Structure 1
Amino acid sequence: MKKGTSIAKLIQDCSAIIVDEAPMLNKSVFEAPDRTLKDINSTEDVMGGIPFLLCRDFRQILPVIRSGTRANIVNKCIKKSYLWRDVKQLKLTTNMRVHRHNDSNADAFAKLLSAVGDGKTAVVRQPDMILILELGNEVNSIDELIQQVFPDFGDNVNNSDWLSQRVILAPVMGCYVIKLIT
């Protein structure tokens, strides 16, 4: 991007730049806008003087580095960037999605997810999985899984409210279980 172009002007007019899921960023993706914004705004201020809001939860996925070791992955995190020293961290503590609906079940589930993320829940470690005791149901077959998650599916297939209250969590869409079900 060059100074004086229409895209440079558009970015110069921004009040702020917001990046969601920031921990997934490779630090070079975090650093590149810094150099570009400094250039188009003719300043050495961090991010060219434009507020840069990073939304994050470091308990979630880190950058994906093909064939990367743990050390490679950690070294590519935004916290390893030279820019991290300039980051002012603010912590949000209220889940507004849950708070807005005043739903005790949703509140309990949000608290459970936070406890899982903080490593404060009981787990059973097995060679091929980690079972979180307070979360989900254990089943013995794919048919039992489908029956527990989608009972009376034929009667509710067109009921979006009913469907929106059911989920099978899988690490990726190509998961063995998901392929069997679909």
Structure 2
Amino acid sequence: MKKTKAILGLPIISISTAENVGKVNNLIVNGNDGTVDYILVETGDKAISSLVISTRDIIGVGEYATTIDSEGVMIDISSVPDAIELLQKNVQIKNTSILTKNGNLIGKSGDFFVDDDFNISALEFIEEGNSNEVKIILRKDVITFGKNLIVVAEDVEEKILDSEEDLISDETSSFFIDPMKKAL
């Protein structure tokens, strides 16, 4: 699981040529599915229009680089209608107001976490009036990722994790409760 700020700016390395072919410029979020579906690529070449990589074509995201099989998976965004549609919806997770299902505005989101399959697994929560303390809301408590709001379950405040470390220990403990769940 990685925070998006650890992914943004990473070099993109083609495994077939062992070359740097760009860098991660932005993540394109699918608010309906709660996933990151595409990565917007920065190539440094102003003449080239925007390129995207489907997250299905990403081999891995490490501390140093994002890896792909070849440059062939980098596609001009104009030929990917799904990516254009998602960009037009403009679902942003960071710095978005968080509203409970019953209509209470409880704070804003900070960064968010994605798993190895680019599913959004959690988001940082900054409580209204307390910007110094960052807590964690799990994906299972999010109802909707919208353009201007994230709607969460009414009882989310009872389920918020106190820190990023709690997120990691919560994930580990759920593995030991049901190890086959992770294996499948």
Would you call these one fold, judging by a TM-score over 0.5?
no
**Greater per-residue helix proportion:** 1
Q: Quick one: higher RCO (CA 8 Å, sep 6+), 1 or 2?
A: 2
The two structures have a TM-score, normalised by structure 2, of 0.27
User: Which structure has greater strand proportion?
Assistant: 2
TM-score by length of 1: 0.27
